[in-house]
Structure 1
Amino acid sequence: MTIAAKINALVIAIVISMSLLVSGFASIREYRLERDRLLTQLVDEATGRPDVALYLFFDARDALASSLGGLLEHPAVHYGLVYNTEGEILVSRPPGPADSVLPLSRLREGLSLADVGLSSLDGAGRPVSEGLLGAVLGSDRYFQLTVPVISAINPLLRETSQEDFLLAASRPAAEKARHVIGYLQLAVNQRDLLWQVLPGLLLVVGACLLFALICLALSLAFTRRITAPISHLARVADGISSGNLEDPVRVSGSGEIRDIANIINRVIADVSSYKRERDVDHQLLSMKVEERTEQLSRRNQELNRAVKQVTKTKNRLRQMAYYDALTSLPNRRLFTEQLSLLLKLAKRNSQMLALLFLDLDNFKRINDSLGHSAGDLLLREVGLRLSGCVRESDVVAHYVDNTAKIDVSRLGGDEFTVVLNQIDKAESAAAVAERLMSALTEPMLIEGHELVVTPSIGIALAPDHADDVEGLLRCADTAMYHAKAAGKAAFLFYDSTMEDAGLERLALENDLRKALEHDELVLFYQPQVDTQSGKVVGAEALLRWQHPEQGLIPPFRFIPLAEEMGLIAEIGEWTIREACNQIKRFAKDGVLLPKVAVNVSALQFTPSFSRKVRTILQETGVDPGVLELELTEGVVMGDTSTSVQALAELRELGVSLSIDDFGTGYSSLSYLSRFPLDELKIDRSFVVDAIESEQGASLVRAIIAMAQGLGLKLVAEGVETMEQYDFMTASGATVIQGYLFSPPVPANKLAVLLSPWHFQEQIQGLEGNIQR
């Protein structure tokens, strides 16, 4: 930007700023004056008209509306309202606004009865600015003016005539009393008020604009006169820089301009002298360049030979640093670098990448039996076969980029990785894994021995499972170990549940150790209903874990965990003690619970188990006949002689014994006659099968007949539908446990179910449906 342009821009900025300030201040002043004038005029007119007070006093609404219309002549006054002292609207002109105005109490909030009120509000009744900016921003902004209507006569004196009212109103103000009989509200639209003063505002703006134009013209003329010599000197300087100007400079102007011209003349002389010297130096330099060019040519040949030697050495070092010496495959360092690059490319191109993590099954056995040399040969053959599969699958995978390929690396020991780049779907990785397994399972001849190795392969996908090297390796490695755990010689895709299951199990282990200490275990009870009498003959105590964070955890999640951790004996002992204590609490409250069945784990059923039961019964003082222990077939079949002795000791205590889930375990019938059992529970799976197939129905009938023949009580558990109920009761199983009657409930809800004949009505309804 030139000096003249800068000066002109500065002048324009100053003039415009001053004009805007003057216009703004003048506009604000004119608007305020007009606002104050109009509001004062409205107040004077409202208070100076006795007819308004007269018509309001005598409730002459038509005349009052006519008088109110005279106050709305100004264009900015949109509507007017007349209120009585209770805030009721008597007259509205025009009629519409009365439906949307604010209550009088809000408009006159904080004012005395005789004060004039003024509020600046928008259409929603919110306070807004009273100035010019508020009028510009919104068309629904109003000055709400409320003027009290004064009467010289007390409005309670209703016998007053109009002549008396007018006579009292004509008296001087000092002699008459002042009574507020109502209020007059006038709404002045701020936008319309602005339109009234707009001509005057435009006049001010026009004057400021004219002043700005005059100042701009003067500035242009002044700056042109000042900068003309400077522009001439700039053109001279430009000619000097291009080497085309040699004549002295002559300009007219002030002393500073002449000084600059003298300096430019000296520069011209110096440039001419320098140009002559430069020509001489150029000739000398050309001679030296020719001499140096010959020397550089010889050195270039020597450097080329050195570069070849360095490149050869570098390649050898790179081979040693990035490739496995045994298999010649990329090692861990090169593998991570390549995988990192491929992950970035896959992310940029929105493509899928798969990592296959291979581990040879039972490789240590080959090393131990044939030696490490045979193991190295085996690993080398595995690398060759993997590379062979790579070249074949490069075409099958249909890769777009010709340079893209399947990269194989040996990470160490018997672990290999295969990176599948630019695959179209996860099934492509599974196809490659199958080809790799087929290639590796073909027999290998190593030092005269025919060996067959199988791999366990874990597959992780990017970006589905991870998008970084460490995460992808971890996922593939996790999947590989799950493949080994599943039986080896297989491949598995990574699933987040593989890690979640481990983390969840670890968290549950830590929390389960504290569950007993923190009293987090609770018992739920599911009633056993005798369908012939309608009574509850017992209830099965079902363990639940009230976790402070996860809520109610069912037993199938933590009972196996407790068995593995060795906590099942302690938890089982707590369950029996809590069931006995609950029996005592029921008895104290007058609630009869005939029997409570408690499940016993196989790990809990030890030689000391009967002694622990005896101790609990003695400590709680519960009748042993009320406690029933439910044993699985695996418990009684573990050690027959020991089991018979332990069951006999429990029977001596008076405890009832039941076989739970009959038919789902060993299904040996001999122990039913040898062991001192009292009850047999038909498993839910048999109850379901009995309805779905005739073979299942026949099996259930056989179990019921066998139990009846041996004198064992029967409980059918898991009965949920009317069809199951019909079949079981018709077949002879009269004691039913299941969701048909009740789900497992806390102890406080079980007490309600134990009342006599609680299920009688439901049983009668079921019987009625069956007969129909």
Structure 2
Amino acid sequence: MTIAGRINAAVAIVILSASAVAVVALGVREYHSHRDDLLTRIVAEVGSQTALPVAIYFRETQQIDGLLTQLLRLSPAISQARLYSEEGNVLAQHNRFPGAAEPLPDFSSLRSSGLSPLDTGHGAHASDTAPTRSRTLATLTGGERVLDLTVPVLSSVNPVRDALSRQEFGQALASPATSRYVVGYVHFGISVSMLMLLILPSLALLTATAAVLAGLVIWLLSRHIRRLTAPLSRLARIADEIATGKLDQPITVDGSGEIKEIAKVLNAIIGGLNKYKTRMDVDHQLLSMKVEERTAQLTQRNDELNKAVEQVTETKNRLRQMAYFDSLTSLPNRRLFTEQLDLLLRLAKRNNRLLALLFLDLDNFKRINDSLGHSAGDILLKEVAHRLASCVRESDVVAHFVDSESRIDVSRLGGDEFTVVLNEVENAEAVATIAQRLLNALLQPVEIEGHELVVTPSIGIAIAPTDATDMEGLLKAADTAMYHAKAGGKNKYLFYSNDMDAAGVERLLLETDLRKALDRNELLFHYQPQVDTNTGTVVGVEALLRWQHPDQGMIPPFKFIPIAEEIGLIGELGSWGLREACRQLVELREEGYALPKIAVNVSALQFNRNFCAQVKAILQETGLPPSALELELTESIMMEDSHSTVKALQEFRGMGLRLSIDDFGTGYSSLSYLSRFPLDELKIDRSFVIDFDKSDNDASLVLAIIAMGRSLKLELVAEGVETHEQFHFLTDNGAEVIQGYLFSRPVTATELRPLLAPGYFLEQIREIRADSHEGGYSSAL
């Protein structure tokens, strides 16, 4: 910065500081003046209100309210006005800002012991609230404060005298007063921030005036200073140019005698420097040529060596990473894992210690890839890898069981399989503890692209040397245990046992037969009626898929449905089942049976992008009206909450289909989807129904589900009803449609026909209700 600039800056700071101090002082003076004037006007206005003593004495509420409202108009800063009796009781209160109303102050604090009854009380207190207009100003000034002003209301009439008429009171006021009595006090709460806000315009004008004057003075001084310091500034620039060697010509400077002497000295320096510079330039040029030549050669050799080392190191690291680590999760891949497992097995054998291998497979990972895309699947795998690694010790091994060679772009072989080696474990109980920890860690929801996903694993556990002593045997045992955990319902862990090998062979045979079951017409439907307990009529049936195996007999769905989902047959089975159910209902209606609807269960894997078109095509093919078909959806479909799910459900509703939630409350139930999705029916799971009299929690859950369904205008169907007690508990609490063995087991279409007669179950219902009266039955809750 130049000399003139520094002087100008110092002068500007001094002038601006003085202006600021002056503005602040004048602002404080203006505030105190405005405040004192307001207080004076308030006291004068209260004294001039001749009607106020009369209103106080006769307790005229309407008159008092009007006078307080008039007093509030004295200034926008008056936030509240309260009228106290001479004893300190509140007679009336008005707040200008209802949203910022203050609590009633203690009358004793307003009238301190140092005041006489005739004195005006002054005070102030901090407040947590401020008027909306001045809230920002209150925050900037350290918080809102309220000025308290209590003004006595005087009268020539003694307030303790009773039974005065208005005429007597007026005559007393009109006659010369010999004594003055206090009949009450008016308390005013005055917002300090509003007072400051009222003086802001004059303060702004004052600030603007001071700023203009300060700017004018600074501008005049800066011009004068620039003229005085111009020669010195030029000499300073010349000195800088001499120091850097940029000036080699004599200089001339206008100014006083001292400045000319300085210019003469500088010219002598320039002459000497020019001679020295000429000699040094020659020597420096020769030396620089030699140094630059040698430096260039060394730099070139060094760069070549560094580049070669970097390339070799990067190539080595890249090859090792590609060979031994998964590029997605950065965990050891199958190759590195098997090497580490083989080494740990030999160490465990030498040290005579146990080693556990956990084989994890993510349940329904393919559905996540198909629904949200492979990018979402990759994010999920990375999160799973991070959680698994955080649950085990550093001495343990977590690997992504995937071949690095098999990962090509968006396809991954075994991408949802992970392995964990627990080194030197104490016993099987310790392994079970770690396995449960892994299950709990993965059960926490994962937020991916706006979707909240819950992923569950199936874990197989093998322990060396109990289950196997070599790597291949241990891997096979853990894989077999994982396979049985998945077949047993998923989201669990199982230890390997020898019985699993025989079960694996049986499952392979069952898979083979299931692939042929459709061609051999071995699949059929059984139908379980849904009975209206008011009329005894079947108002719907649930179509339940059965497999009549030629050798093993009737195979229940819980055994072959999971297999169909795993081997990719569920879509074909679901399409056949939907078509067959629609066809049989059309056939029943053509025969004259009045069956309003048929309910078909839909697998989560079946609910894909083509499902809507498939349902529409089947309805057109069979001729069944859409309103007669009800799709029973699982909670996993609802919890997905993707755009495609919402769109599909809305499309079904537009077609006229009925939508039902099956087994509500047994999964990860979310109350939000009940109101967000276009649903028609809610089914109460049988697990709550059968245990309602054994558990208060189950009974309360059933009541809550019934109340929730009715409030959302959803139809209710209670499943698994088998006893009279269950019937009475449900019907007494609002569930009118019953499904269960109490009325009928699942039957074939032929056995169903007689049950469809109007009021078929009415007599049975009457007997059940009659039994309840004889036995003195009452509702459980």
Q: Shared topology, TM-score over 0.5?
A: no
**TM-score, normalised relative to structure 1:** 0.40
Which has the higher Rg, Structure 1 or Structure 2? 1
